[in-house]
Amino acid sequence: MILSISNLSKKYQNHVALNNITIDIPQGIIFGLLGPNGAGKTSLIRILTQITEADSGKILLNGIPLEPKHIRAMGYLPEERGLYKKMQVADQLLYLAELKGLSKQEAKSRLKYWVDKFEIKSWLNKKVEELSKGMQQKIQFIGTVLHEPEIIILDEPFSGFDPINAQLLIDEILLLKEKGTTIIFSTHRMDSVELLCDQIALINLAEKILDGNVPDLKKQFKKNQFELSYIGQINLENLPLEMVSVVQKNNLNTALIKAKEPMSNKQIIQLLLNTDINLISFAEKLPSMEEIFIEAVQQKNN
């Protein structure tokens, strides 16, 4: 585990921000910290980045309790982006890297890599305020990763990014992951990171309600539902299946069916093939993160 958080709690005057949170994050994965606005994600991140301190609990980074020298191991892109508007791009990036503890020489040589990669040489001597919003976001991203942190924490990374830059960001994140960097995502838009995340933790009202790797969670919360399209009339009367919904369009039926008892996909396909229909497509319907979240919250409340 690169990061292991145990029994972390944080209280503000009027409300509890984090209540006894325990999360383990293995090295080299993309970890999603999901939950609605105000759930406590940013509070957790601020503790990880050592902006604030927890009231109680422990955080270990590679087995060592978190301490000030670890700020170099972290790169943080806050939800509210910002740069010094009047400062030149190169000065700004070097400054951010130096604050993280890099020497000027190191910072310069690492900057060169990103300059070539993003082809921003001509922008280096421009002031930030002269750049377009998309450019500023690229600069900010470079500022987050320039010191080559072991852990990158991105708070709502896609908010404000246009689709092209968002894709660019995703590509870079995947590349960093390949190099062994651990990436922590925090977002309230659960659908947006479902595909990227290897593992997630769901946070609601200051508490962790669920965590694990994404395929496992989907399996755990699946409702034995299947989506199929077919031509013809289907009769499920003598089968251990029931129809949830069906839509007909141009002779083609699209239906959602549910297995009355747990069955493998193979068994169901065999059952369907024995009916009179002409099966066009078949897919297991897995719950979306959002559905899992809602269900987990309901379970918790009961």
Partner 1 sequence: MVHKIYLIAKREFITRVKKKSFLVMTLLSPILILLFYGLIFYFSFNKDLTDEVKTIIISDHAGILNEKLEPTKTIQFEFNNGLEESQATIEIDEREAYAILFIKKSEKGITYDLIGKEQASIGVVSTLEDKIEQALKDQQLQQNGINQELLAQINKTRIDVQTRKITHEGIEEGNSGLTTAIGYIGAILIYLFVFLYGVQVMRGVIEEKTNRIVEVIISSVKPFELMMGKISGIALVGLTQFLIWVGLVAVLSGPVSALVLDLMQVNPTEISQQMQEAAKTPAAQQSMKAAKQSGPEIFKGLENLNLPLILGMFIFYFISGYLFYGALFAAIGSAVDNETDTQQFMLPVTMPLIFSFVLAQTIVTNDPNSSLSIWLSMIPFSSPIIMMVRLPFGIPTSQILASMAFMILGFIFTVWLAARIYRIGILTYGKKPSYKELAKWLLRKN
86 versus 266: smaller Cβ distance to partner 1: 86
Of the candidate spans 22-30, 75-83, 182-190, 217-225, the one that interacts with partner 1 by CB under 8 A turns out to be 75-83
Minimum distance from residue 62 beta carbon to partner 1 (Å): 19
80 versus 261: smaller Cβ distance to partner 1: 80
Query: Contacts with partner 1 in 76-135 (CB under 8 A)?
Result: 76-78, 80-87, 95-96, 98-100
Burial of 10 (0-12, 13-18, 19+ CB in 10 A): buried
Q: What is the spatial distance between Cα 153 and Cα 203, in angstroms, rounded to a whole number?
A: 16
Token representation of residue 170: 């995703």
Rule CB under 8 A: say whether 37 interacts with partner 1. no
Rule CB under 8 A: say whether 49 interacts with partner 1. yes
Query: Contacts with partner 1 in 9-28 (CB under 8 A)?
Result: 13
**DSSP letter assigned to residue 88:** B
Residues 6 or more apart whose CB falls under 8 angstroms from that of 162 comprise 134
Minimum distance from residue 224 beta carbon to partner 1 (Å): 45
25 versus 190: smaller Cβ distance to partner 1: 25
Using DSSP's 3-state secondary structure scheme, residue 250 falls into coil
Q: What is the spatial distance between Cα 195 and Cα 284, in angstroms, rounded to a whole number?
A: 17
Q: What is the spatial distance between Cα 214 and Cα 203, in angstroms, rounded to a whole number?
A: 15
128 versus 206: smaller Cβ distance to partner 1: 128
Token representation of residue 153: 């924490």
Minimum distance from residue 80 beta carbon to partner 1 (Å): 4
Rule CB under 8 A: say whether 74 interacts with partner 1. yes
**DSSP letter assigned to residue 295:** H
Phi-psi region of 27 (alpha: psi -120 to 50; beta: other; left: phi over 0): beta
- Binding site residues, partner 1, CB under 8 A: 13, 46, 49-53, 55, 68, 71, 74, 76-78, 80-87, 95-96, 98-100, 140, 143
